[in-house]
Amino acid sequence: MTNKKRLMIVGGHIGDVENTGGLIAAKYAKAGHHVTLVHMTGGEKGNPAMDHREYRKQRVVEANAFCETIGANECIVMDHPDGELHVNQETIHQMCDLIRLKKPDIVLTHWRGSFHRDHRNTYEIVMEGGFLAALPGIERELPAHLIRGMYFCENWEDMEDYHPDLWMDVSDSFDTWVAACEKSQLLRGEISYAYLQHYKGLAAMRGAEVGVRYAVTVSLPPISRKRRIDWFPIDTEPVMVF
């Protein structure tokens, strides 16, 4: 990709962006694209051994360390409490304004089929905020901005009806991403789930499926899965029969 793009990845908690979109963020940052990481909450209630206010401070430090390590441009942590992210006019307009401010060409976020309410609500907020951001008739402080590409990340908590549509080779950014994830106590697997182990294995599996060392998948919005072709693209997308 020669022309530089603006990429925004939106997660429900600190940790979601890193796990599911972090490899893509690292790849785009390495290639010189503008990368913004957005965390709707601090995920501060995920460590029962710590006061949630202190844990939020720790997680913000970890999120910024991840951002710096992969070379992303900015890390934004919104001021919504973990477990209490709501879909309402305020949060939708907040996302609309953020999209108009950052002007992303590409947005990645959660798929709607999640058992986690903050993930489902993040999906709704991003979709509704992106829709309003594109309409000139929605008069806010900043002018309208249209997102050119919307994709949903593969997340073990968001797999209900998840449909992998695209496989992206992230082999060249894998080591940088691992080093960034290791700066987080949660991602190292020291609090609850073995997140880094899971997503390292997932990247290896997805890579094997398309003949590269490491890959990630994303899902397209269902309305965008239809493609028009003039000829069968067997030179670039061969269809294997055995």
pLDDT tens per residue across span 8-39: 999 999 999 999 999 999 999 999 999 999 99
Sign of torsion over alpha carbons 84, 90, 96, 99? negative
Instruction: Check if the beta carbon of residue 218 is closer than 8 Å to that of residue 154.
Output: yes
Q: Residue 39 is encoded by which pair of tokens?
A: 């965390």
- All domains of the chain, ordered by start, with CATH? 6-224 (3.40.50.10320)
Q: What is the pLDDT of residue 227?
A: 82
Give the E-state strand segments of the chain in sequence order: 6-13, 34-41, 74-80, 106-109, 149-153, 166-169, 215-219
Per residue in 70-111, pLDDT (tens digit) is 999 999 999 999 999 999 999 999 999 999 999 999 999 999
Determine how β-strand 215-219 pairs with β-strand 166-169.
Answer: antiparallel
The pLDDT assigned to 229 comes to 87
What is the per-residue pLDDT across 142-182, written as a single tens digit (0 to 9) for each?
999 999 999 999 999 999 999 999 999 999 999 999 999 99
Whether the Cβ atoms of residue 207 and residue 200 lie closer than 8 Å to each other: no
pLDDT of 228 higher than 90: no
The SS3 of residue 13 is strand
Q: Where do we find the tokens 């999120």?
A: 63
pLDDT attached to residue 2: 62
Q: What is the distance between the alpha carbons of residues 46 and 32, in angstroms, rounded to a whole number?
A: 34
